[in-house]
Each structure stands twice: as structure tokens, then as C-alpha cells.
Amino acid sequence: GAGVSQTPSNKVTEKGKYVELRCDPISGHTALYWYRQSLGQGPEFLIYFQGTGAADDSGLPNDRFFAVRPEGSVSTLKIQRTERGDSAVYLCASSPGTGVPPDTQYFGPGTRLTVL
Amino acid sequence: LAKTTQPISMDSYEGQEVNITCSHNNIATNDYITWYQQFPSQGPRFIIQGYKTKVTNEVASLFIPADRKSSTLSLPRVSLSDTAVYYCLVGLNSGYSTLTFGKGTMLLVSP
């Protein structure tokens, strides 16, 4: 079946602008995760959704970052007043979220964000 | 979350078997061990997962000793296309678990 998809694949914006990044999880997966990956580093956790609610947003770096998942499927990561330091690859992952371990996460291809 | 330690890089040649060992001394009783592969400009791809002893799939084998403080990913007869970063992670011991990635192991396969 279809995997996790993310759009756009690349996004270039100017400092101070607002951006939205979209994630379509695997159909039927109730858990959805956002990660951020800087060059040469492993992915870093940002936020986790179980259904429509953000169950853990402890990884969001500051209040400029916000994510929603209004219908429990597609999620949007929103970044306000972008800064050059926000440049990174933003990865989305989904998992079945059934409560039965292991809850294996499957990743999308990522969105490369460049803030000029 | 259990911390993992793996080599920063490894070199190999086509056709060889590659073994990447990961240490996870503080693994919890219910933690699973999962390995991901990542190519440049792509998201991490799930390779294999296990809890104890040995797991094998069409891509790799995972060896886990009885004390579970380490694990070894074995890639048989690597090809150039296996050049990638390999991440070892522990967790997923409940219905939800964030993953803590390290820097992974950069495997370079040469002709």
C-alpha cells in the first residue's frame, strides 16, 4: 500500500515568512510523528499525535512551531516567522498506534526547508 | 530512553558480509531493538526489528545476545546500493514511543 507522503518535497522561503508542511500518513495509522533532521545528524523528535490530539509536543523548539491533525489523518506542521536556523529536513512518520508493542514507525521522504 | 552506541563509519567491498554492532547497556526489559537505513535525501527506512535471539528477513539478520545489551545487524553480500547511514534504536515498548536517533553508522561499500 501507499507509504507516508509529504509535500512539498522542497520549500525555500525568506526569513520571517510563514510556512506549512504537510504529511499524509499510512492509511489506518492513528499515531503520527514529526521529526527534524539537520545535516549530519539523526532525526530529532518534535511532536507526536495520537488521533487528533497532540499527545507529546515536548520536542517543539519554541512557540513559532505548531502542528495540527484536525481529522486524525493528514497533519500540518506550521512554522511562523521562520529563521535561518529552521533550515532542515522535516520528517513525518506514522505507526499503527494500536497500543500493542512494538509500534513500528514508518517514515516519509521528508520536506527540505531552506530559509534564506 | 536507552542510549545506543554504534561506530561512526564502516567500509566494505561489494559481495562481503557486513556486521554493524550497537551497544545499548541500559535497554529496558520491554524495549525492542529496531534498525533503520537512510539514503541521502530520503527518510529512514525500516530494516529489521527484534526483541531477543535472532531475527531474519529478506534484507538482513539481527543477532541479539541473551543479555540484550548489544545487537548486531548483519547485511549479507552487500552491494554499492547498500551505502547508507544505519541507525540502531531501542524503545517501542508501549503503544507509543518516540525514537531517539544518534548519528548512526555511515556504511560505504566500494567496488
Question: Which pLDDT score is estimated for A2?
Answer: 84
Per the CB < 8 Å rule, is A31 touching B96? yes
Nearest chain A CA: its distance from B101 CA (Å): 5
- For the record, the C-alpha cell of A40 comes out as 549530519
CB contact under 8 A, B103 and A56: no
Q: What is the average per-residue pLDDT within A72-82?
A: 97
Task: Give the pLDDT confidence of A18-76 residue by residue, as tens digits.
Answer: 999 999 999 999 999 999 999 989 999 999 999 999 988 999 999 999 999 999 999 99
Average of per-residue pLDDT across B6-27:
95
pLDDT digits (tens, 9 = 90+) for B24-64: 998 888 889 999 999 988 999 999 999 999 999 999 999 99
pLDDT at residue B1 in the model: 52
DSSP A100: P
Query: Distance (Å, rounded) from C-alpha A46 to C-alpha A110?
Result: 14
More confident: B103 or A106: A106
Beta bridge partners of B9: B106
CB of A106 within 8 Å of a chain B CB? The answer is yes
DSSP H stretches of helix in chain B? none
Lowest pLDDT segment from A64-73, B13-22, B36-45, B93-102: B93-102
Report whether B42 contacts B84 (CB < 8 A). Answer: no
What pLDDT sits at residue A57? Answer: 92
Decide if B55 contacts B62 (C-beta within 8 A). Answer: yes
The confidence score (pLDDT) of residue A103 equals 81
Structural contact between residues A68 and A78, judged by C-beta atoms closer than 8 angstroms: yes
Other beta carbons within 10 Å of B60:
19
> How far is the C-alpha of B5 from the C-alpha of A111, rounded, in Å?
28
Report yes or no: A33 at the B interface, CB cutoff 8 Å: yes
Bigger pLDDT: B101 vs B107 = B107
Q: Does A11 touch chain B (CB under 8 A)?
A: no
pLDDT confidence of residue B41: 85
Terminal C-alpha separation, chain A: 37
Mean pLDDT of A84-103: 90
Which one of A105, A106, A113 would you mutate to disrupt binding with B, by most B Cβ within 10 Å of its Cβ?
A105
Query: What pLDDT does residue B93 have?
Result: 62
